[in-house]
Amino acid sequence: MSDDAIATPPDATPALEPVTEPTPERDTDRATAPAPAPQPGVEQPPAGATAGGPQEQLLELALGELQARRGALLREISELEGRREQLQRELGSSFSGQSDAIARRLKGFQDYLVGALQDLASAAEQMELVVQPLVVQPSPLDQAAAAPDPNQAAPAAAGLFSQDEALIQGRLAAFQGPPDFYADPWKLRRSLEPSAAALLDGWFLAQGGRGAQPSTGSRNRNALVAAAAIAILGELYGERFQTLVLAGRPERLGEWRRGLQDCLGLSREDFGPNSGIVLFERADALIERADRLEERGELPFIVVDAAEQVVDVAVLQFPIWLAFAPGPDDFALEDDLL
């Protein structure tokens, strides 16, 4: 029986074909195939690098740069915060620790500036823009003695206080009592010593309000004596007279200002060209002011500080003036400091 005649059963599985292995020639051809040529301008990955290697390196490089910039910014922020804290400490220490000193300096400069402006205003008022002819007039006392006029209440008879003896002695006696610290302005608020009262009694009644008296030993006591004279003259002549104080240096004028202000209850506005008391460093400016007062029919009361070694002769022509004559020991400490 032949092979063709053998019948295959219906449920028998067909025979599998044998798997063919790739021939060695094909593998060799694939392995030896030439690599593609590099493209110009395109960065080639290094040999042996995987497909994701360049991206990871770029990410790491960018991350490193960001971290470096973040560190630099953090350092700058830290430095700025340190500077801010230092500035806050310096500002706090300077404004809180030196506020009192700054306030004292500003107050002293303000006082000096106010005094300087007042002196400047006084000098500007006394400045003569037009030269006036010199007219020599006789003394008001001589005019009063030669031809008294009872109908005219002028300061011509201002140096003659004989008719006011009772009032003057009564005021001097009252001034020796307890001080009146709440008296009205231009009234004496301090007690007068008996020696100072005797000095003023002789100056008013014996000298007629024109002459020198010995200094009481200090500028404050002299200011008290002058304040008592101003209070009495205020009752006699009202607002028709003005006090002119001559002292050669600003510090002396400052003591006169404080002394008169304390004894008479005055304010800073009462010292100035158009007020009740004017302070002068030079005699020529005082003389010009006194002449103008007399031209307006007012009475100048001149007070000369004891430190003035020379009194201008022109001062002696006015009806009322009081010059303090220093003793051998007066103001010795002031001279040593100068």
Concatenated DSSP letters of 182-243? TPPTTS--SPPPHHHHHHHHIIIIISTTEEEEE--SSHHHHHHHHHHHHHHHHHHHTTSEEE
Instruction: Sort residue 266 into left (φ over 0), alpha (ψ -120 to 50) or beta.
Output: beta
DSSP 135: -
DSSP string over 229-284:
HHHHHHHHHTTSEEEEEE-SSHHHHHHHHHHHHHHHT--GGGBSTTSSEEEESSHH
Is the distance from CB of 189 to CB of 180 less than 8 angstroms? Answer: yes
Handedness of CA 191, 193, 194, 199 (dihedral sign): negative
Task: Report the alpha-carbon distance of residue 84 to residue 69 in Å, rounded.
Answer: 22
Cross-sheet strand order for the sheet of 320-325: 210-214, 320-325, 299-304, 241-246, 277-280
Is the distance from CB of 239 to CB of 270 less than 8 angstroms? Answer: no
Tens of each residue's pLDDT in the chain, 338 residues: 444 444 444 444 444 444 444 444 444 444 444 545 555 544 454 544 444 578 888 898 999 999 999 999 999 999 999 888 888 887 767 665 567 667 777 777 777 778 777 777 777 666 655 444 444 455 454 454 444 444 444 443 344 688 899 999 999 999 999 999 889 999 999 999 999 999 999 999 999 999 899 998 899 999 999 999 999 999 998 888 899 999 988 899 999 999 999 999 998 888 987 788 999 999 999 999 999 999 998 999 999 999 888 888 888 889 999 999 887 666 544 544 44
Is the pTM value of this prediction over 0.85?
A: no
